[in-house]
Amino acid sequence: MAGDPIMPATGRTRLASAGARRATESALHNASSRDHLTSVIFLALLLLGLSVALFSLAALLTWSLIEGAPRLGLELLTNGPSTVRPEEAGFRTAILGSLLVVGGVVAIIVPVGVGAAIYLEEYADKERWWNRLIELNIQNLAGVPSIVFGILGLAFIVRGPLSLGFVAAAGSLTLALLVLPTVIIAAREALRAVPASIREGSLALGATRWQTIRRQTLPAALPGVLTGVILAVARATGEAAPLLLVGAVTFVTFDPSFLEGAYSTLPVQIFNYSNRPQEEFRVLAMAGVIVMLGLVLLMNSFAVWLRNRFERSW
Amino acid sequence: MASIDSATSSAGFSSRSLEASSPRYTEKAIVAFLAACGLLSVVVTSAIVVSLLIPTIDFFSQVSLEAFFLDTTWAPRQATGRFGVWPIVAGTLNVVFWALLVAIPVGLASAIYLSEYASPRARKVIKPVLEVLAGIPTVAIGLFAFLAMRPAAEVLLPFLDWSSLWSVGVAGVAVGLMTVPLIASISDDAMRAVPASLREGGFGLGANKLKVSLRIVFPAAVSGIVASIVLAGSRAVGETMVVLIAAGRTPALTFDPTKSVQTMTAYIAGTATGDIPTGTLDYNTIFAVGTLLFAATLALNLVAIRLVRRFREVYE
């Protein structure tokens, strides 16, 4: 019973406990008076860093609103582009072009992106080298610069094997390949979050693998999949660089069509207006930025809301 | 009734086959389609490599390797074309330097705050806001840099020479702000993956939050943090619209942040907008620069993927 707490304090134990208390106090107290200041400075620096990020976002949004406000109106959406009359020019054909291109992107990435994710999560044997290759490949493609996809589009889709020409469909295909890794990665994460017990229950009741995926796994993963798709669509809506290479041209005066004729998109049109020297075109470009930011932020916040709303832990 | 009869009559259940009752061709067709979707990514990568390499080989049959890598003048569109790639490589590195100078401190401060200090409620607000920043189209960021940040920089730093309309420093800072969410979110993930027991051990030994954050969590998460920085660098190398709008199109070997430079991406985007005929030297030059760009980002991405995998293996 060496550590008996009721043991009366002899001279020796009293000395030991006093010494221990003194040691602890000197270690914690002395240090904390100095460390307190460094801690406060450190936290202040962290908050400063964070506020730089948040402040620049706020500055960008308010500045765009102020700069573009003079031209904000319905005719901005309904009028076509013009090189000579900036006060009447609008984004009609560019917005229609964006709708065509992004519509094509959705039609491609939903089946292909979700399909690839289902294959990798539900069917692929991860021990096989080809499946690991596909996985590494997708991670890598997610980091390839968008302009390189533009080069691919120029060499393979506009010209070369597919030879579609400089049309909206070529823009769709190029952007779809660009955002496909985003969709696949998001859809895989959503599928992975569905617990194995749901699949096993379905299989045990006699459903085939595909029936299990279609009726159980995929519906359970749907919010996550949808979030990934919307984020990808938002990115495609704002993307300009690869489209410069696959033929989105400056001034399209006629409403564009998907498979023939010239097209432009909202970000490309904004870029082209901003290149012109006159002040009116800058204002016009900034008004376009407001429209584009409105669309993209709406999609992004819907995606975030969707994820938070339907996020469930199994 | 028939199935029960056959089951009971054939000496118990043991002889009943586990084979599917039909060949399930639809099921097989679906798997084939899904596998094809997965395979598409490999096809895309191969297509990128092929589409870059063929014109690049063409390019190097017309322009020697020495003229590309040893010359220091980039003037490909002139009659006596000079193809020294260093000025546009230097332009890209310049942008990456200024971008990381901003993105590393801001991104890491945000990450440490989010993972170690923020309350769950603050996290729930700040993370989506950072994601919004990540989702801003690059054209908008480029215009903001060119029309708002550059004039502001002129006012804030009047002792610099702001004679050029375009500034690589401003463009780099804008690219840096754009990559902050990338560094913040990956580093935050890496630091949150550090087990709580390590932190508690630190607190138990009398360390305060600052010491636990910097001496325990930060070193434990360092592979993920480095990965996030490498990825941000790769993003800055590949960024096109911001540099095209705010950094200009003048190839120059300069380290002056107020001067205009041309990056590899800005060269590609600025040259390929016209309808350039296939097979000409102009056309091939785009692909040669594209190959260099692709190789650089590929190397950075592979390093980052390997690092991310390491912290996942250790803690998850």
Per-residue pLDDT 10s for chain A (314 aa) are 444 455 555 677 777 777 777 776 666 655 566 778 889 999 999 999 999 999 999 999 999 999 999 888 888 888 888 877 888 888 999 999 999 999 999 999 999 999 999 999 999 988 889 888 999 999 999 999 999 999 999 988 988 888 888 889 999 999 999 999 999 999 999 999 999 999 999 999 999 999 999 999 999 999 999 999 999 999 999 999 999 998 777 677 778 888 888 888 999 999 988 888 888 888 999 999 999 999 999 998 898 888 888 776 66
Task: Decide if B63 is inside a domain.
Answer: no
Task: Decide if B58 is inside a domain.
Answer: no
Nearest to A141 among B45, B113, B235 (CB): B45
Distance separating alpha carbons of residues B173 and B146, to the nearest angstrom = 11
Tell me whether residues B137 and A267 touch, CB distance under 8 A: yes
Q: What percent of chain B has pLDDT over 70?
A: 91
| Best to test chain A binding among B24, B25, B46, B51 (most A CBs inside 10 Å) | B51
Cβ-Cβ contacts under 8 Å, A144 against chain B = 48, 238, 294, 297-298, 301
Tell me whether residues A238 and B137 touch, CB distance under 8 A: yes
Tell me whether residues A123 and B31 touch, CB distance under 8 A: yes
Q: What is the pLDDT of residues B100-140, one digit of tens each?
A: 999 999 999 999 999 999 999 999 899 889 988 999 999 99
Task: Decide if B115 is inside a domain.
Answer: yes
Q: How confident is the model at residue B4 (pLDDT cuts 50, 70, 90)?
A: very low
The complex's ipTM? 0.88
Nearest to A116 among B41, B214, B294 (CB): B41
Count of domains forming chain B:
1
Instruction: Report CA dihedral (B248, B251, B252, B257) to the nearest 10 degrees.
Output: 20
Task: Decide if B106 is inside a domain.
Answer: yes
Task: Decide if B262 is inside a domain.
Answer: yes
Distance from the Cα of B77 to chain A's closest Cα (Å) equals 18
How high is the pLDDT of residue B1?
Answer: 42
Most distant CA pair in chain A, distance = 100
Structural domain for B305, as ranges = 86-315
DSSP-assigned letter for residue A119 = I
Residue B7 has pLDDT above 50, yes or no: no
Closest alpha carbon within chain A to B104: A49
* H-assigned helices in A239-265: 241-245
The answer to whether residue B57 neighbours chain A at the CB level (below 8 Å) is: no
Closest alpha carbon within chain A to B277: A159
Distance separating alpha carbons of residues A26 and A181, to the nearest angstrom = 56
Residue closest to B199 by CA, chosen among B186, B210, B183, B187: B210
Q: What is the CATH number of the domain that holds B250?
A: 1.10.3720.10
Task: Decide if B305 is inside a domain.
Answer: yes
Cβ-Cβ contacts under 8 Å, A292 against chain B = 137, 139-140
Task: Decide if B1 is inside a domain.
Answer: no
Distance from the Cα of A11 to chain B's closest Cα (Å) equals 29
Q: Let me know how long chain A is.
A: 314
Task: Decide if B77 is inside a domain.
Answer: no
The 3-state secondary structure of chain B, one letter per residue: CHHHHHHHHCCCCCCCCCCCCCCCHHHHHHHHHHHHHHHHHHHHHHHHHHHHHHHHHHHHHHCCHHHHHCCCCEECCCCCCEECCHHHHHHHHHHHHHHHHHHHHHHHHHHHHHHHHCCHHHHHHHHHHHHHHHHCCHHHHHHHHHHHHHHHHHHHCCCCCCCCCCCHHHHHHHHHHHHHHHHHHHHHHHHHCCCHHHHHHHHHCCCCHHHHHHHHHHHHCHHHHHHHHHHHHHHHHHCCHHHHHHCCCCCCCCCCCCCCCCCHHHHHHHHCCCCCCCCCHHHHHHHHHHHHHHHHHHHHHHHHHHHHHHHHHHHC
